[in-house]
Amino acid sequence: MNVYRYEQNPLVTPADVKPHRADFEVIGAFNAGVTTYNDEIIMLLRVAERPISEDANVVKAPIYNPQTNELEILEFNLNDTDYDFSDPRVIRENGSTQGFKYLTSLSYLRIARSKDGHQFTIDEKPFIYPSNELETFGIEDPRITKIEDTYYIYFSAVSPVGVGESMVSTKDFVATEHLGMIFAPENKDVLIFPEKINGMYYAIHRPVPKSTGNPEMWIAESPNLLHWGNHKFLLGLRDGMWDSGRMGGGAVPIKTEKGWLELYHGASKDDRYCMGAVLLDLEDPTKVLARTDKPILEPEADYEVEGFFGNVVFSCGAVVEGDVVKMYYGVADTSMACAELSLQEILDSLTYLK
Ligand code: MAN
DSSP character string of 55-83: STTEEEEEEEETTTTEEEEEEEETT-TTE
Amino acid symbol at 159: S
Q: Is the pLDDT of residue 155 over 90?
A: yes
Nearest CA to ligand 1 atom 9: 89
Atom index in ligand 1 nearest the CA of residue 188 equals: 12
Q: Is the pLDDT of residue 130 over 90?
A: yes
- How much is the pLDDT for 314? 98
Nearest CA to ligand 1 atom 4: 89
Q: What's the CA gap between 205 and 220, in Å, rounded? A: 8
Percent of the chain with pLDDT over 70: 100
Atom index in ligand 1 nearest the CA of residue 103 equals: 10
Partner residues linked to 269 by β-bridges: none
Q: For 185-201, what is each residue's pLDDT tens digit?
A: 999 999 999 999 999 99
Q: What's the CA gap between 100 and 338, in Å, rounded? A: 31
Residue 340 half-sphere exposure toward CB, CA atoms < 13 A: 11
Cα 25–Cα 29–Cα 32 angle in degrees, nearest 5: 150
Residue 343 half-sphere exposure toward CB, CA atoms < 13 A: 19
Q: How far is CA 233 from CA 44, 185, 259, 269, 277, in A?
A: 29, 17, 18, 21, 17
Nearest to 313 by CA among 289, 294, 332: 332
Q: Which residues line ligand 1 (CB under 6 A)?
A: 89-90, 103, 140, 156, 158, 163, 333
Atom index in ligand 1 nearest the CA of residue 90 equals: 7
CB atoms < 10 A from the CB of 202, how many? 23
pLDDT band of 98, cuts 50, 70, 90: confident
Amino acid symbol at 291: R
Atom index in ligand 1 nearest the CA of residue 100 equals: 7
Could you write out the DSSP letters of every residue in 122-175? E-SS-SB---SGGGTTEEEEEEEEEETTEEEEEEEEEETTEEEEEEEEESSSSS
Q: Is the pLDDT of residue 354 over 90?
A: no
pLDDT band of 97, cuts 50, 70, 90: confident
Q: For 304-320, what is each residue's pLDDT tens digit?
A: 999 999 999 999 999 99
Question: What is the model's pTM?
Answer: 0.97
Q: How many residues does the structure list for the chain? A: 354
**Cα–ligand 1 centroid distance for 69 (angstroms):** 23
The whole-number average pLDDT for the span 217-227 is 98
Q: For 277-288, what is each residue's pLDDT tens digit?
A: 999 999 999 999
Task: Report H helices in the chain.
Answer: 302-305, 343-348
Q: What's the CA gap between 134 and 156, in Å, rounded? A: 10
Q: What's the CA gap between 321 and 191, in Å, rounded? A: 20
Q: What's the CA gap between 15 and 186, in Å, rounded? A: 32
- Mean pLDDT for the chain? 98
Class of domain 4-352 (CATH, top level) = mainly beta
The whole-number average pLDDT for the span 136-151 is 98
